[in-house]
Amino acid sequence: MNEHSNIEKLGGCSEIPVLKERGQREVFCGLTGIIWLHRKIQDAFFLVVGSRTCAHLLQSAAGVMIFAEPRFGTAILEEKDLAGMADAHEELDREVANLLERRPDIKQLFLVGSCPSEVIKLDLSNAAERLSKIYFPKVKVLNFSGSGIETTFTQGEDACLASLVPTLKETDEENLILVGSLPDIVEDQLVELIKKLGIKEIAVLPGRDRGTMPSISKKSKFILVQPFLTDTTDALEKRGASRINAPFPFGEEGTTLWLRSIKESYGISDDKFEIVTSAPRKRAKLGLEKLRTSLQGKTIFFFPDSQLEIPLARFLSRECGMKLIEVGSPYINRSLVDKDLELIEDMPVISEGQDVDLQLDRCRESNPDITVCGLGLANPLEAEGLTTKWAIELVFTPIHGYEQAQDLAELFVRPLKRKEALFI
């Protein structure tokens, strides 16, 4: 199971060795993405076809249950479904009928595959097609897999967005599509900045409801706001849209480089770019300046979690002066994060995949000032004397763009400050 010390070179222009490991992975499965996706897409319901474990994961993953009836649920497979005593498709149709009757506000239904549904080869794309015939146009029925055997944590969002791409309306208009779900406030900020640059047709995938999903053409350009969108990128390119490659918009530098890539792609003048970005850049720099002293020279170790690790490591090392020890990521798609990788100096250990016990050994050995890890590891590591930052908070908190640069640094300052402040 452990192919540790298996160091491979990443191909291409940069010669960065990657430590690839296969062992116990302490990560979420893709179903977890539903926790934020169901809030982001306001007329969608996510119906997981899975087991009690899936249902239990969904209510446990966020640490607390969300008050109010959520727009997600699990159709729990039972013995009779597996033994072939019941036709699973008939059962699914019945549950969907009940659900849509109870929730007439639902306009998009995602059937979400899980480990058990994939192992028993329950064909959900077939089911989605069949159900679409019944409920379309009132309800659009799609499917994607959030299973742990196929996806890790944020790959669930990738799968979801990729499933939406073939359904986007075809036009021949030019537009710019921002891809990846962001908290509404951050999305609005970024869209406004881009508008100020003079680009009029801007759309966001995912749209907040079925009516605001972007349209697409061969002239469409798109730029990612999240680094984990490999399949979505492929699907968009397949429809003829072209990607603007950029570092991810974390921090002052990241956001500026991200916007600059758009500027260059559209041939916008330097003057205009300066006018639009100078004020927020200044604010972001000022905010970071205050926090930099707390982070300067501090060491950090990333356990794999969301694929945000490489862009965040770039931000923390370049903009906050932190020293990277190990940057672990569940999966590295070099073509999406190369712009961030190129900027990282003093290359740390970059690891892909995980053997959690070996990685814990390395972490303890290097004794970092901050360890970024999942909720299952945080308290045990704190109890051993290490200071930790919950990785999941980086997915649930507004951290992109100029106005959040300070908040992002603050997330790492807080555990350090707390450790200093406590006298017990």
Partner 1 sequence: MKLSIWTYEGPPHVGAMRVATAMEKLHFVLHAPQGDTYADLLFTMIERGNKRPPVTYTTFQARDLGADTADLFKKACKEAVERFKPEALLVGASCTAELIQDDPGGLADALNLEIPVIPLELPSYQRKENFGTDETFYQIVKALACPQEKTEKFSVNILGPTALGFRHRDDVRELKTILDDLKIDLNIVAPLGAAPSNIKNLTKAHANIMLYPESSELACRWLKENFGMSYTEHTPIGINSTKDFIEELNQIRGVKDSFSDTSRLNFDWWSKSVDSNYFTGKRVFIFGDATHVATASRIAKEEMAFSIVGIGCYNREYARKIRSLAKDLSVDALISDDYLEVEKRIADLQPELILGSQMERHIGKRLGIPCAVISAPFHVQDHPARFSPQVGWEGANVIFDTWVHPLVMGLEEHLLGMFREDFEFNDTAGPSHLSNSKSKLNQEKDTKADNEIIWAPEATKELKKIPFFVRGKAKRNTEKFAFENGHSAITKDLLYEAKAHYAR
Question: Please, what is the minimum distance in Å from the beta carbon of residue 154 to partner 1?
Answer: 12
Can you tell me whether residue 179 is helix, strand or coil? strand
Residue count of the chain, please give it.
Answer: 424
Distance CA 34, CA 37 (A): 5
Distances (CA, A) of 62 to 29, 66, 67, 190: 13, 8, 12, 26
Give the footprint of partner 1 on this chain (CB under 8 A). 1-2, 23-32, 47, 49, 51-53, 55-57, 59-61, 63-65, 67-70, 73-79, 81-82, 86, 88, 91-92, 94-95, 98-99, 115-116, 118-120, 147-150, 152, 357, 374-380, 382-383
Q: Which is nearer to partner 1, 355 or 410 (CB)?
A: 355
Number of other residues whose CB lies within 10 A of the CB of residue 99: 15
Cα of 300 vs its chain's centroid, Å: 21
Helices 309-318, 405-421: crossing angle, 10 deg rounding: 80
Q: Which is nearer to partner 1, 297 or 376 (CB)?
A: 376
Question: Please, what is the minimum distance in Å from the beta carbon of residue 171 to partner 1?
Answer: 36
Question: Please, what is the minimum distance in Å from the beta carbon of residue 255 to partner 1?
Answer: 32
Cα of 176 vs its chain's centroid, Å: 20
Q: Which is nearer to partner 1, 121 or 169 (CB)?
A: 121
Question: Please, what is the minimum distance in Å from the beta carbon of residue 112 to partner 1?
Answer: 13
Q: Which is nearer to partner 1, 223 or 391 (CB)?
A: 391
Q: Which is nearer to partner 1, 150 or 209 (CB)?
A: 150
CB 116 within 8 A of CB 79: no
Can you tell me whether residue 224 is helix, strand or coil? strand
Question: Please, what is the minimum distance in Å from the beta carbon of residue 52 to partner 1?
Answer: 4
CB 96 within 8 A of CB 131: yes
Number of other residues whose CB lies within 10 A of the CB of residue 141: 22
Distances (CA, A) of 405 to 40, 146, 154, 210: 22, 30, 22, 31
Question: Please, what is the minimum distance in Å from the beta carbon of residue 422 to partner 1?
Answer: 15
Q: Which is nearer to partner 1, 248 or 303 (CB)?
A: 303
Q: Which is nearer to partner 1, 91 or 403 (CB)?
A: 91
Question: Please, what is the minimum distance in Å from the beta carbon of residue 356 to partner 1?
Answer: 8
Going by C-beta distance under 8 Å and a sequence separation of 6 or more, which residues neighbour residue 118?
145, 147, 149, 150
Question: Please, what is the minimum distance in Å from the beta carbon of residue 128 to partner 1?
Answer: 16
Distance CA 382, CA 378 (A): 6
Q: Which is nearer to partner 1, 7 or 65 (CB)?
A: 65
